[in-house]
Amino acid sequence: MASHADYFLAARGENGFLHVRICCNTGLDDPNKDFTLVTLPERRFESVAAVVNHCANIGVYSRHLPPAILKYPLNEESV
């Protein structure tokens, strides 16, 4: 179960939907918060939009399905 500060990225691929957890590594009120993907915990991002943009460039990966490429990724203006 995700904390109140976590998000999930959902993407539809050729073989179904992928759901990837985006973890907030500090509290939401912390000005120095950063985010990671469960599937890429060593990489830290400054915002949820930065995570989504990263996924837009390389695809969304899952342990069980081929990657899904984002056709309509989130951008900074829509956050």
Residues with Cβ within 8 Å of 72's Cβ and at least 6 positions away in sequence, in order, are none
1 pLDDT tier (thresholds 50, 70, 90):
very low
Answer yes or no: is pLDDT of 56 > 60.
yes
User: Which pLDDT value is given to residue 73?
Assistant: 60
Give the C-alpha separation, 45 to 48, whole Å: 7
Burial class (CB in 10 A: 0-12, 13-18, 19+), 11: buried
Q: Which residue has the higher pLDDT, 61 or 75?
A: 61
Predicted TM-score of the model (pTM):
0.68
